[in-house]
Chain A
Amino acid sequence: MKRWHWISLAAVMIGSLILERAAVHHTSDYWWSHIPGLYGWLGFLGCIGIIVGSKLLGRKWLQRGEHYYDGE
């Protein structure tokens, strides 16, 4: 990733936050719908949660050697 890639991404993210504050009127009555940058948090924390959770599940329980079923 080059520097300008990061700058562009940051600009897009900040632009979406500004747009959210200026033009999005939350009409939903759920408490979480009023969190600023809700979808950014969901994306970032959700991504990390999926990676860590899946890997933990795999290491502790689900992952086996590639030849696990060879004797079937």
Chain B
Amino acid sequence: MASELMLHPAFLVLLGVALLPLLPSRARGKVLPLFPLAALGVCWNLSADHGFSVEFLEYRLSILQVDRLSRVFGIVFSLIGFAGGLFALHLRDVRQQVAALLYAGSALGLVFSGDWLTLFLFWELTALSSTVLIWSRRGTGSRVGLRYLLVHLFGGSLLLAGILGQVQATGGIALQLLEAGRVSSWLILGGIAVNAAIPPLHAWLADAYPKATVTGAVFLSAFTTKSAVYLLARVAPGWEILITLGVVMALYGVVFAVLANNIREILAYHIISQVGYMVAGVGIGTPLALNGSVAHAFSHILYKALLFMGAGMVLQATGRSRLTELGGLVGKMPLTLGLYMVGAFSISGFPFFNGFISKSMVVSAALDARYPAAYLLLLLASVGTFLSIGLKLPYFTWFGRSRPEVGVSRPPLNMHLAMGLLAVLCVGFGVFPSLLYAELPYGASYRPYTVPHLVESIQLLAATFFGFWWFRSKLAGQATLTLDTDWFYRRPAGWVRRCLVDGVSRLFDRADAGILTGIGWLAPRFRNPALWFGRGAGGEQGPAISGDDPDATRPKLEFAVTLILLSVLLFTAMAILQ
């Protein structure tokens, strides 16, 4: 059992969670990336159909179940855990370090789960650990983190309700394909939709990720949404509704990224957009489309982490992340710009970058499966991706109006090294796509470098640049906030608080004050019962007695005491006579 656990990638990383706090603070940062690196080695050597399970109550929990789908996600999760650890090498915050490892380990545990209960446990652990990465940012982090946690607890509740229904319907806990006719299937889909950031359940992502810590955002960009894509591919391939939802996601993120002013918010909205391609691919459901979704998840994790690293370095070096406060950094941060642009070219689908070899699979699959509207709209979304990530963000951050008042501090070397590693991988997989294609789970062949594909990409990208240059002044950042579907729970929050918290609190205050007044009125009367009969020397306020001298009141009690004794005698006599 113990030896099997040591060969589980998730438990190797979770071992780090237990060991890290015991290490000296100077060593923690250096040791942290070693755990995901060990997990990567184990993942690489895992063979399909490998697994082990344990008995729990009347169920058998499949803690490790390996197939080609879980293996490819395990590889990329471990890889990004290592790159994120390298990026955070300089960090001395044990809370963040432990949370990051717990988050990576939970995501690995999730993709290797073979049953609903194990999966749910790791699903909730990812929510809790990722919340800590948002809470760790000083300032707005606590309130945003609470919103993030509540939304994910809601999603987790949907998932749990669906799982319970599923277990009751099937009589087992094994992960299996969802059936459209069951309510439990739709509840599970709702729970997954929260984590996949499918509109209208997506607003948590653009709300929280820009406010996470610089290093935490790198981990956040990788695990939650892609775990959800994995689960969709596992249990709901070919659900046609996912095509519509995926296309809506792809375009939704594009529109909101154009309006966003915060550079990390722009990137966050483009997570939603890119995950839209993956969701649409799962919905199409052909082997090529499913391979495209998995390949795009793999590519996306690499280039999105690279982009968040670039934006995070701008934030760390300048203390700013709004386009309205940035500009002219090219002379001060040229290396960061160069590495960021590798990520930008990748996400935009430039030939010889990894986004090209994966995004085009999903788009081609849409046309092959005869979804022409989805095909054209996904191409339109890729125009918007290049517009915001490849042009707007770098233009107004590194070029545009220079701001001499912005000071730039020197970032640690390890941050550049982590960006360099991911940049090499983005280009490597773009130039040698077979390295990735060999690991894909479904049997479908695809050639990305054909003349039609190259013509399509070159025309699309060059023409987008012309459009951007013509209208670039309209894309300058504006110091505004864009309403999103979180309005529905953020705006009424004040009203709900006034009614359910402030109102109840006021009621308690008044009851409290009333009780104190009552006690104030009763206390002197119990101390001096003569006051009940209005015989106190001090009238309503009570007699002016000395609390130390009970004899002072004694003569005034004679009437009351006599009356009480007579009453007792009278009642006793009546009782005896009856």
Contact = CB atoms under 8 A, between A and B. Distances in A.
Contacts of B458: 12-13, 15-16
Interface in B460-492: 460-471, 474-475, 478-484, 490-491
A48 B469 CA distance: 10
A19 B452 CA distance: 9
Contact of B463 (A39, A53, A61, A62): A39
A55 B482 CA distance: 11
A66 B380 CA distance: 30
A20 B133 CA distance: 49
Contacts, number: 142
Q: Which of A16, A28, A50 has the most CB of B within 10 A?
A: A50
A50 B384 contact: yes
A48 B470 contact: yes
Given A30-B372, A51-B258, A72-B491, A9 B455 contact: no
Contacts of B259: 54-55, 57-58, 62-63
A43 to B, nearest CB: 3
B455 A20 contact: yes
B222 to A, nearest CB: 27
Helix, strand, loop or mixed for chain A's interface? helix
A51 B494 contact: no
Contact of A63 (B376, B452, B457, B478): B478
Given A19-B455, A24-B451, A46 B464 contact: yes
Contacts of A50: 254-255, 258, 380, 383-384, 387
B25 to A, nearest CB: 37
A51 B471 contact: yes
Contacts of B470: 48
A24 B471 CA distance: 31
Contacts of A45: 467
A42 B482 CA distance: 27
B460 A42 contact: yes
Contacts of B451: 19, 23-24
Contacts of A61: 483
Given A42-B383, A47-B383, 14 more contacts: A16-B462, A19-B451, A39-B463, A43-B460, A48-B467, A48-B471, A51-B258, A51-B474, A51-B475, A58-B259, A58-B480, A62-B484, A68-B481, A69-B490
21 contacts: A1-B469, A16-B462, A24-B451, A28-B367, A39-B460, A40-B463, A43-B464, A43-B467, A44-B467, A46-B383, A46-B464, A50-B380, A50-B383, A51-B475, A54-B259, A57-B259, A62-B483, A66-B480, A71-B494, A72-B493, A72-B494
